[in-house]
Amino acid sequence: MSALRKLQKDYEKTLSSSYEWNYRILVVEDQKEVAQSYTDILEHSAKVIPLQRSSRSARIESLKSDSQEKHFPFQLSIVHSAAEALDAMKAAKAKNQAFAMGFIDVLLGDGMDGIELLKELQKMDDDFYGVLVTAYHDRDVDSIHKFLGEDKVDQWDYLNKPFTNGEILQKARNYISLWNLQRESKIREKEMQDLRNQVFQSERFSTVAAVARGVSHEFGNILVQIMGKAELGQMGNEAKKTQSLEKILEASIRANEILDRFNHLANPGNADFPKETHNLHNIVNSALDLMEHQLRTQAIKICKIKSDNGKVFVNETSIMQVLTNVFINASHAMPGGGQIDLGVYDHGDFCVLKIRDYGTGIADKDLEHVFDAFYTTKGKKGTGLGLSICREIVEIEHSGHFKLYNHEVKGLVIEIQLPRKEVA
């Protein structure tokens, strides 16, 4: 599956993942009878009664349309004082079970009143919606607004006693919905952001994109030179024109060299490089034979530390190219001589070849760039294409994996995973 297809799948999975609604409501009411009414209205969410005017026996029948609508299984926590409310909020936060909203009686006996309490509760939980409930008209909305602050203007509401069943039910539905929709949209937004980052990362690490970026950067520079010299040459005298033409020719030669290197990558894998079943040990030995002279003159010893089954389904020439590239890099990393450890490991459907040198490894700041085309730490010695070609051959042509990391003690490890059988 292509990386992009996989991302798309993950994306669909993420979006269809269900979001659990939060129906937790905190009720702060010091009169036990009124508190009980909240339970009756919200937990059974059926009966409509004018609360202050009647006993429970006088309830009238349910709203018939309810069963057709979204069901709100409210979860009530009823407390009777400001102190209890603060404790409940603290406990809810600790359990990561925040309240979405609360109904808060303004007159709460001794201590702080409901408005002061709401301010404290919102300090503890910024997202908490509060509906202030009062029988008195002692505080107008403007003075409450001033007290709670400009930034909380959409976080509270106001209800006069006596209230009706419908008012309580509808406020609960509104604020529960608002809280959850906002939370859900925040979560979705974060998921989208994560996905965008993944796409960004996948593009960044895709060999093809890296090579394309490198080529694009180089060609941009070359075209600046060609267009600039042509334009400036046009405006200058004969000598200037001749000099410009020389520069243009130089730039064109540079472009051609880049194309040559790039063409290495552009070879369509399967058509030109048929794959067969091979023994990886033989391919490794052939590559070592090719390198024999260089390894010997540089005093580099080869140490085979593991020899599991080497059956692989590959194009021999391509893998030879990868191995010689890796051996050349390793020998460059140890100019004063050293050792290369080779290990062939069995890994299910894959055969893993680990190649470790005893050089200085790669600095962290370069490690993230080693697969970028044209990136080189070797100055004029490298084209900066070696590792991106290796990875292209292993990962794209062979559906394998090409990894590179610093050994925990010393040197660099290249890990090449190749399939044992043809990959469909």
Partner 1 sequence: MAQANLNIQILVVDDDKQVLEVIVEYLEYFGLCNVKSFSSAQQALTYIQDSRNSIDLVFSDWEMKHLSGLDLLKAVRGNPHRKETPFIMVTSQGSMERIKITRAVKSKVDAYIIKPFRAETLKKKIWEVLEWNQEDEKAS
Binding mask 246-265 for partner 1 (x = CB under 8 A): -x--xx--------------
Residue 63 lies near partner 1 (rule: CB under 8 A): no
User: Measured from the CB of residue 397, what is the shortest distance to partner 1 in angstroms?
Assistant: 23
Residue 166 lies near partner 1 (rule: CB under 8 A): no
User: Measured from the CB of residue 222, what is the shortest distance to partner 1 in angstroms?
Assistant: 8
Query: Counting Cβ atoms within 10 Å, is residue 119 exposed (0-12), middle (13-18) or buried (19+)?
Result: middle
* 185-193, 226-234, 277-285, 331-339 -> range binding partner 1 (CB under 8 A): 226-234
Please say which residue, 59 or 229, places its beta carbon nearer to partner 1.
229
* 32-40, 166-174, 212-220, 274-282 -> range binding partner 1 (CB under 8 A): 212-220
User: Measured from the CB of residue 224, what is the shortest distance to partner 1 in angstroms?
Assistant: 5
CA geometry: angle at 350 spanning 347 and 356, to 5°? Answer: 70
Residue 200 lies near partner 1 (rule: CB under 8 A): yes
* 144-152, 169-177, 245-253, 398-406 -> range binding partner 1 (CB under 8 A): 245-253
Give the other-Cβ count within 10 Å of 39's Cβ.
13
**Quick check: 131 and 157 in contact, CB under 8 A?**
yes
Cis before residue 162, ω within 30 degrees of 0?
yes
Q: Which residues contact 382 (CB under 8 A, 6 or more apart)?
A: 376
Residue 229 lies near partner 1 (rule: CB under 8 A): yes
How many chain residues touch partner 1 (CB under 8 A)?
Answer: 24
* Residue bearing tokens 């080779």: 342
CA geometry: angle at 221 spanning 219 and 226, to 5°? Answer: 90
CB-based burial, 372-403: b 16+ in 10 Å, e otherwise: bbbbbeeeeebbbbbbbbbbbbbbebbbbbbe
Please say which residue, 335 or 379, places its beta carbon nearer to partner 1.
379
Residue 241 lies near partner 1 (rule: CB under 8 A): no
Site residues, partner 1 (CB under 8 A): 200, 203, 209, 212-213, 216-217, 219-229, 231-232, 235, 247, 250-251
